[in-house]
């Protein structure tokens, strides 16, 4: 039986490829998930498991360019329908941005969804299509991802510091749980191994703000001299609104698997080690 990883090249897909060496990884050039004919050629009887790690994650662009919907919403329905027909399990990944951020506690799987931005609405559309498809589906919502080689907040901060920036202004009134994509890949594997279905939240332990995450990343990454200036969301306007509280509650994951996610600072240290190794290899 064949396993497919869609969206190869992305942060999560790379982690999945490491966890599932027997799986076939397909990047956009081999399989564009917005092409229904290409999907129909790939997801056929004999495929037992599809890991959909493909997504258009350009949150701000989504406000003005609706093309994200083809990837994050419509294609997920098509993938799910083909999985149903092939008898394959679909593992799909969604986001903390399906919530409006107004709860005074961490978000549980069955809390009401009310996305504040177009990206969140598109991802929610994808969730709903997958759940309505009649396929066997596991949807894992995650937040604030980072991993070597991806476009992510942690690397942006480290790259700015490495380029000589002496001062960085960072939003300090949005709270969330940073997540190391390779840890998410391992978590997805554990959930599949125990037969989990429906919606489950996963994020690394420890909640912080973007400012708090930048502080940890720069201190651990060898840039303690960069001056970090906390600011409010209003002082740093972006095209897409972000939830003030997007902390995900992972107690369902912990109950199901019997394991607690490690703290994000431990994952940050691993990320920094891997980043240094890659930089070292590139320099030789």
Ligand X SMILES: NC(=O)c1ccc[n+]([C@@H]2O[C@H](COP(=O)([O-])OP(=O)(O)OC[C@H]3O[C@@H](n4cnc5c(N)ncnc54)[C@H](OP(=O)(O)O)[C@@H]3O)[C@@H](O)[C@H]2O)c1
Which residues contribute to the site for ligand X (CB under 6 A)?
Answer: 6-7, 9-13, 28, 32-34, 53-57, 71, 93, 95, 123, 142-145, 150, 181
User: 């406000």: which residue's tokens?
Assistant: 63
Residue 25: strand pairing partners:
5
Q: How far is the CB of 38 from ligand X (least distance, A)?
A: 9
Main-chain phi, psi angles of 200, to 5 degrees: -135, 140
Which lies closer to ligand X via its Cβ, residue 144 or residue 211? 144
CA atoms within 13 A on the CB side of 79: 34
Which lies closer to ligand X via its Cβ, residue 198 or residue 224? 198
Which lies closer to ligand X via its Cβ, residue 34 or residue 265? 34
Please count the other Cβ atoms lying within 10 Å of the Cβ belonging to residue 116.
Answer: 19
Rounded CA gap, 39 and 23, in Å?
16
Q: How far is the CB of 82 from ligand X (least distance, A)?
A: 14
Rounded CA gap, 249 and 256, in Å?
13
CA distances from 78 to 29, 134, 169, 283 (A): 18, 12, 42, 43
What stretch of H or E contains 272? helix 264-283
Q: How far is the CB of 13 from ligand X (least distance, A)?
A: 6
Rounded CA gap, 36 and 15, in Å?
26
Q: How far is the CB of 75 from ligand X (least distance, A)?
A: 7
Q: From the candidates 97, 119, 211, 253, give the one annotated as an active-site residue.
A: 119
Q: Which residue is nearest to ligand X (CB)?
A: 10
In the numeric block, which tokens belong to residue 251? 């107690």
- Is there a catalytic annotation at residue 119? yes
Q: What angle do CA 184, 189, 190 make, to 5 degrees?
A: 95
Which lies closer to ligand X via its Cβ, residue 227 or residue 263? 263
Which lies closer to ligand X via its Cβ, residue 12 or residue 228? 12
Question: For 257-272, b where at least 16 C-beta lie within 10 A, e where not — what string?
Answer: beeebeebbebbeebb
Which lies closer to ligand X via its Cβ, residue 185 or residue 196? 185
Q: How far is the CB of 113 from ligand X (least distance, A)?
A: 14
**177: helix, coil or strand?**
coil
Kindly list the strands in the beta sheet with 2-6, ordered across the sheet, starting from the edge strand earlier in the chain. 24-26, 2-6, 47-52, 89-95, 136-142, 198-201
Q: How far is the CB of 149 from ligand X (least distance, A)?
A: 8
Active site residues: 119
């Amino acid at each position: 039986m064949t396993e497919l990883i869609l969206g190869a090249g992305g942060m999560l897909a790379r982690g999945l490829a490491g966890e599932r060496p027997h799986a076939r990884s397909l990047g956009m050039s081999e399989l564009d998930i917005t092409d229904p004919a290409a999907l129909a050629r790939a997801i056929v009887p004999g495929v037992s498991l599809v890991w959909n790690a493909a997504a258009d994650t350009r949150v701000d662009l989504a406000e003005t360019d609706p093309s994200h919907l083809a990837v994050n919403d419509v294609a997920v329905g098509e993938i799910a329908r083909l999985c149903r027909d092939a008898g394959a399990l679909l593992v799909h990944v969604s986001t903390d941005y399906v919530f409006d951020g107004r709860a005074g506690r961490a978000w549980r799987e069955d809390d009401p969804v009310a996305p504040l931005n177009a990206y969140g609405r598109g991802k929610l559309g994808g969730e709903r299509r997958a759940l309505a498809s009649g396929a066997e589906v596991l949807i894992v919502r995650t937040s604030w991802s980072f991993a070597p080689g991806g476009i992510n907040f942690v690397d942006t901060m480290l790259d700015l510091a490495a380029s000589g920036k002496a001062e960085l202004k960072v939003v300090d009134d949005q709270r969330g749980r940073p997540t190391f994509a390779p840890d998410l890949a391992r978590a997805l594997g554990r959930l599949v191994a125990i037969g989990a279905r429906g919606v489950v939240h996963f994020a690394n332990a420890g909640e912080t703000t973007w400012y708090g995450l930048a502080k940890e990343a720069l201190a651990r990454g060898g840039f303690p001299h960069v001056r970090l200036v906390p600011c409010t969301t209003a002082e740093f306007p972006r095209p897409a609104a972000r939830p003030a509280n997007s902390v995900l509650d992972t107690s369902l994951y912990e109950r199901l698997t019997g394991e607690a996610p490690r703290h994000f600072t431990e994952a940050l240290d691993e990320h920094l080690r891997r980043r240094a190794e890659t930089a070292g290899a590139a320099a030789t």
